[in-house]
Amino acid sequence: MLLGDDRVTRYTGDKGEYRYYRSDKSVSNSYVDAPFVGALVKETSQRDAEAVTFAPKGGTHGDPILVYTQNQGYVRVPASSVRDTVAEMNGILNLVGAQRGAAEGRFGLPTDKLVPPLPQSAREPEGTTEPSDRKGMISLTLAFNQKAVRDMLSASTDQVLRAFSASLGAAHMGIIDGTDKPLMDWLVANGKYKDGKMAYDASAANRAFPSENNPGRGDEDKARSLSNLSEKAAGLLADLAAARGAKDNEARAEQIAKIVGGRGESGLAYEDVLRVLVQLVDPLDVTGDFVASIQATSRGVKNTNAHLVLKNGRQEVPMLKDAGETKSRFAQPSVLTD
C-alpha cells in the first residue's frame, strides 16, 4: 500500500496550487505461469483514493474533494470472478445516500447485463469446473464534491453507527464479515460512544447472544466479534473527528486519505469504509463513471462494452475536471497490463 501526497503548481488559467493526498493499493494474482508466455490466468486490482485541495495564487486551500477509483483486470477468469467485482462495487453504489433517505439500490450496476451468464445449452453438468472464459477490465470512479466531504465529516455519532451497521448487510468481501450485522445492530441499540470507546454491557450482550451448547453463557465467538466491531466503530468515529478537527484543509485532506486507505484508527479500508461514508452524503453531491470491456470465449455469450455515467441532472464536482487534467500530466502507468 502506498500513502503519500503530491504538490502540483498549475501555471495555466487561474494560477494556483493543487495538493493531492492519496492512498493506493494494487494486488495481482497469477494462477498459471507458462515459460515465455506469462500468466495464463490472472486477476489484477488497483484501488486509488485521493483527497484534493486547491488554493488560488496567494490564497489558502479550500475544502477537499474525494475521488475513489477501483480498476480490475482479468485474463482467462471465470464469469463468477467478474461478477464478484461488480457485486463489490454494488455494495458501495447501492448505499449512496442511504442515511439521507435515498432508496437503496437506485445506483446499482446491472450485473446480468455486464456479465452475461452462460446460456443453458453451453453449461457444463452440475459439479464441473466453471470455464475460465472471460478477460478484459472494469473500472469504477466515484467523486465526492466539497459539500459531500463536509457531510461525511459532520455526520452525527448515531448516523455513523447506523451507517456502519447497514454497511455490513452490503459486505461482499473485505475485512468485515457481513454475518455480523445482528451484532452491530445490537451495539447501535445498546452501546454508547464515550471517551473514544464504544461502551456496552457485556452481560447483556451474553444474554442477547447465548451459546448454543450452553444457553446460560454467552457465545464466545460472538463476544469476540462484538468487541472487534465496537473497536472498529469507535476507531471510525475517532478518525472522522480527527479530520473534522484538523488545523486546516490540507491536514483535513491528508486525514481523509488515511481514513479511506486503512491507516486510521478503525483499520477499515477502501470498500469497507466507503460503504459507510457514501450513506452520509446527498446523492446529488456524487458523480460516478463506470467502464467495462469484457470478452467471452464461450459460444453464445456476448462481449461486454459498457460506459455508464452517474451525473445526469447532478451538479458537477467543483474543480474535479481541472484537478484531473492537472494530475494526468504526472500520472503513473496503470498496473492493469497483460
Domain annotation covers residue 216: yes
Written as tens digits, the pLDDT of the chain (338 aa) is 445 555 555 544 567 888 889 888 766 655 544 444 344 456 788 898 999 998 888 889 999 999 999 999 998 899 989 999 999 999 999 999 999 888 777 788 999 899 987 766 555 666 567 888 899 999 999 999 999 999 999 999 999 999 999 999 876 544 566 678 999 999 999 999 999 999 999 999 999 999 888 777 888 999 999 999 999 999 999 999 999 999 999 999 999 999 999 999 999 999 999 999 999 999 989 999 999 999 998 888 889 999 998 875 555 666 666 666 655 544 444 444 44
- pTM of the predicted protein model: 0.85
Domain annotation covers residue 337: no
Domain total for the chain? 1
- Structural domain including 304 reads 2-328
Torsion of CA 90, 92, 96, 99, to 10 degrees: 120
Domain annotation covers residue 235: yes
* Cα–Cα dist 253/263, whole Å: 13
Strands (E), the chain: 2-10, 16-34, 38-56, 65-77, 134-144, 192-194, 197-199, 286-296, 304-310
Domain annotation covers residue 335: no
* Cα–Cα dist 73/43, whole Å: 6
Domain annotation covers residue 176: yes
Domain annotation covers residue 189: yes
